[in-house]
Chains A and B, each alone.
Chain A
């Protein structure tokens, strides 16, 4: 019998989360938990298991990134996911990198808002991702190891 996977759903609050939740059918039958950045969508995420709120961070505020990093390390060690699925941004990126270190597979769906190039977070995750999807056809031509199937929203 196929094993039930433990999946980490990691996305910043707002558009990143709404794009990820559009794909909720895909993890049906597996166990999930969520990592988000603010309380805003925490209630909505609750039906996908425990919700960890790690706070907002971006590369312009290194100290905040450090705080979020430490929180993410604790979550990964506690939950030990088999798979991390993320639409970004920086918190999702951290969960992907940390998950990978502990042997998880990584699925990245780059947000539709990234038009000219893949997001900074996406570029950091691209080389370690096991499945990397973009939502614009020209981005799939520009980068290797990147798939385009269409737009999520």
Chain B
């Protein structure tokens, strides 16, 4: 199963419609399940839900063969933590999909590092869907432990000095 998710804050009709149309054109050989938030477009080819609780959301990512989403950094890092091939389409301000174009910068950076595939416009999506089938994301190395240690040390030396 492919998991399509667009977040919940604003609608993202462009992405849901483009994936639905790609399905019409036979680009998928798997089922899709979608979390579509406030999106008004209703997909014809797959089931969808408005939102998912955190646990269920995580489970859908874990179980998916690949993920298609907006370029929200929470979804990107979650998909990469689970080593899922991920294709994103950034939300754009000009379409009222987001308040600024930070998703474009995020998508570019993660793409440049080999972690994700990006379709910057709907018309790029079919080609990227085909690439997604054989895409192996470059592994990310997060340093939560090292950062927590750095802060803990800072606090310890402050506590000792007082």
Given A15-B74, A113-B73, A151-B140, are A25 and B148 neighbors across the interface (CB < 8 Å)? Answer: yes
B142 within 8 Å of A (CB atoms): yes
B56 within 8 Å of A (CB atoms): no
- B159 to chain A: closest residue by CB: A2
B162 and A82 within 8 A (CB): yes
Residues of B within 8 A of A (CB): 73-74, 77, 102, 105-106, 108-109, 140-144, 146-152, 154-156, 158-160, 162
A143 within 8 Å of B (CB atoms): no
Residues of A within 8 A of B (CB): 2-5, 7, 15, 18, 22-28, 30, 82-83, 85, 105, 107, 109, 112-113, 115-116, 130-131, 133, 136, 147, 149-153
Query: How far apart are the CA atoms of A114 and B107 in the complex, in Å?
Result: 12
A27 and B151 within 8 A (CB): yes
B162 and A115 within 8 A (CB): no
Do most interface residues of chain B lie in helix, strand or loop, or is the interface mixed? Answer: helix
Complex interface: chain A residues within 8 A of B156 (CB)? 2
Query: How far apart are the CA atoms of A18 and B57 in the complex, in Å?
Result: 15
B77 and A26 within 8 A (CB): no
Complex interface: chain B residues within 8 A of A23 (CB)? 144, 147-148, 151
Distance between B16 CB and nearest chain A CB, rounded to angstroms: 22
A27 and B155 within 8 A (CB): yes
Complex interface: chain A residues within 8 A of B158 (CB)? 5, 82-83, 105
Complex interface: chain B residues within 8 A of A5 (CB)? 155, 158-159, 162
Complex interface: chain B residues within 8 A of A83 (CB)? 155, 158
One of B105, B140, B149, B151 near A85 (C-beta < 8 A): B151
Given A23-B151, A131-B150, are A15 and B73 neighbors across the interface (CB < 8 Å)? Answer: yes
One of A26, A113, A133, A153 near B152 (C-beta < 8 A): A26
Given A2-B160, A15-B73, are A130 and B147 neighbors across the interface (CB < 8 Å)? Answer: no
Query: How far apart are the CA atoms of A22 and B73 in the complex, in Å?
Result: 15
Distance between A42 CB and nearest chain B CB, rounded to angstroms: 15
Query: How far apart are the CA atoms of A18 and B78 in the complex, in Å?
Result: 12
B151 and A107 within 8 A (CB): yes
B152 and A25 within 8 A (CB): yes
Given A3-B162, A27-B151, A82-B158, are A115 and B105 neighbors across the interface (CB < 8 Å)? Answer: yes
Query: How far apart are the CA atoms of A131 and B146 in the complex, in Å?
Result: 14
One of B108, B140, B154 near A131 (C-beta < 8 A): B154
Distance between A48 CB and nearest chain B CB, rounded to angstroms: 14
